[in-house]
Chains A and B, each alone.
Chain A
Amino acid sequence: MRKIDYAKVDWQDETLWLVRGKRDRLAKAIPEWEALRDAASRLKLYSNSHLPELLEQFEAKATAAGAVVHWAKDAREYREIIGGLLTGHGVKRFVKSKSMLSEECGLVPYLESLGIEAIETDLGERIIQLMGTSPSHIVLPAIHVKREEVGRLFEKEMGTEPGNADPTYLTHAARRNLREKFLTADAGMTGANFAVASTGEVVVCTNEGNADMGTSIPKLQIAAFGIDKIVPDRESLGVFTRLLARTATGQPVTTYTTMYSAPREGSEFHIVIVDNGRSRILADREHFRLLNCLRCGGCMNTCPVYRRIGGYAYSYFIPGPVGINLGVMADAKRYRDNLSACSLCASCSSLCPAKVDLADQIYKARQHTHASAKKALMSKGMGLVMARPWTLEAALCAGQAGMKALKACGVKWGKGRELPDIASRKSYKKLRDDK
């Protein structure tokens, strides 16, 4: 059973619901919103079922523009390609923008083991990095951190005024601190929100301009993304950029939408395309729609369970509805415990901009990843009771007295909730016989 942090639960729930509310207002201001979701879903299904041709088209276009394309089949290859590029170029300081793929593949700890200073430049990610923890949300990585905590952290790390927790003040402090890193970094890296096959462009959506700073100064630029980020062309890209920021943060569009193709003059641009289990997801009958995911985090903001427990209550590094399913695909045995963190309300499926069948997938995954002996026993027991009408009647008869006795002893249905009363047999029998 997961616990609730009662000191933070309402604040966290309200904060995330605010994001959901902003998303709702924007989604409802666009008459064709549902048609956009349909289009996004179909485009993703198309792209993911035409990966070989789209990826090769992307490679050809990107190469023609002067980029170098690398292919990584798993996390190790991804780390080694990037590590090799950085050591080969004598990189000592490396700045990167936000990338869940880098979390997935353990990039930063690997680079640190090579003696490279790897700096997160997204403000939320930077806070998390300085705290020495991991993101609790894929778009809002430090959403669980209160500004007072950030104030204390920055006081220690950047020498800000003691007790000053003003968000603007702290942001300016972080900006000054990062500016020096940007100016002195030997290489910069981004992930990608999308990769356009017909043009060979890597598309990065950010709000802080940190990705642009990090890729505008150093002589070496790297962009890495999963094979599922491919979209056919710019027209289809338009469908996704209309959905992404609206769903993710309730903004019409991110402040910066940058499309990278050719390297800057005098510098190199390397692109790393990663599988790391995505082909396996594509081959899975129940989970293949996971590759539709835009990583917008909308399913987290709407999930009534996530909003109350936060990202750290899940064992996989991506939390919430999509993380429950991605975890099962990554290692079912290791991450199946997350499957219980869902009431099957299906708000995630109803909101997802690319129509990933998140709740259905959780239902299906539960059928073959049994984690709890207690639950198995309850299910078997219920099956026996329900097998015959007389066993049900007997159980209810016992339950009527039993429930009263339990309640008299102060037994509850979880702390804060009373057990129901069981109705008498007579009333129901009379009703049934009354034909």
Chain B
Amino acid sequence: MKVALFVPCYVRAVSPQVAEACLKLLRHLGVDAEIPDSQTCCGQPMANAGYEADTAALKRRFEKIFESYDTIVGPSSSCVTFVRDHYGDAFKGRIWEICEYLHDVVKPTALPGRFPHKVSLHNSCHGVRMMGLSSPSEQNIPYYNKLRDLLSLIDGIEVVESERPDECCGFGGLFSVEESAISVKMGQDRVQRHLATGAEYITAADSSCLMHQAGIIAAEKLPIKTLHITEILACGL
């Protein structure tokens, strides 16, 4: 049974290497994955801005593209939660964020590759608070972090979490345009906290948060880089 890789629009636009890393990872772990044609966008940016009604056509396209797949996996907790929560029941139990899928379904016990670097985990809002990829800092529940669990399979890596480990970086889709002064300030603060850990890389399950933080890193020429978590997990493939 083929597994479909859902490639969100901004992954296609600014970081297609993330899709490549996902394919490599899934195939290495024995999952027969492919990228269905004609994908564009799930509609989340418009819906979060208040225009969910404009996304009806995108929803129909999405349903058609993925209708023949029982399992859909995508490298974005934000987009996956959006589809899961706003597309009706058709996608419940069928669509997974890739870390969630690897951690809960595939359950790899080893991954090849060595990444001898200090990496600061960016626990993205939708991943933490809507998908449960890690324990939200607001709540009194035992600590867990699925991203950290997966990264621990990579040799040589040192994983750290910054102060305020799941504070929003300020991307927020159209929020980053409409309230750009607040968005940039939040991003600067977030990047500074990642830097303060002494990490060389920021990693996350969401390329969107990373794209925004990379923009700030570039503007301030800061000594830290961003990498999507699948790029690290696939470093030996």
Contact = CB atoms under 8 A, between A and B. Distances in A.
Interface of A: 1-4, 9, 13, 17, 24, 27-28, 30-31, 33-34, 302, 304-305, 308-309, 339-347, 349-351, 363, 366-370, 372, 374-376, 378-380, 382-383, 385-389, 392, 396, 399, 412-423, 427-428, 431-432, 434-435
Contact of A421 (B14, B23, B41, B182): B14
Nearest to A375: B49
Nearest to B217: A418
B234 interface: no
Nearest to A371: B50
B163 to A, nearest CB: 10
A341 B49 contact: no
Contacts of B39: 389
Contacts, number: 211
Q: Is the interface of A mostly helix, strand, loop or mixed?
A: helix
A379 B216 contact: no
A347 B168 contact: yes
A372 B50 CA distance: 10
Interface stretch (B94-102, B110-118, B133-141): B133-141
29 contacts: A13-B189, A17-B164, A34-B140, A308-B182, A340-B178, A343-B168, A343-B172, A347-B129, A350-B136, A363-B48, A367-B50, A367-B52, A368-B50, A374-B178, A375-B174, A378-B49, A379-B46, A383-B46, A387-B58, A388-B40, A392-B41, A414-B180, A416-B220, A419-B215, A421-B14, A431-B16, A431-B23, A432-B35, A432-B37
B51 interface: yes
Contacts of A423: 12-17
Report whether over half of chain B's contact residues are helix, strand or loop; otherwise say mixed: helix
Interface centre among A33, A341, A389, A396 (most CB of B within 10 A): A389
A428 B19 contact: yes
Interface residues of B, number: 74
Interface in B187-237: 187-189, 211-212, 214-216, 218-220
B214 to A, nearest CB: 7
Given A344-B175, A396-B13, A418-B218, A351 B54 contact: no
Contact of A382 (B20, B41, B52, B179): B41
Contacts of B34: 435
A161 B53 CA distance: 61
A379 B178 CA distance: 12
Contact of B16 (A363, A366, A367, A427): A427
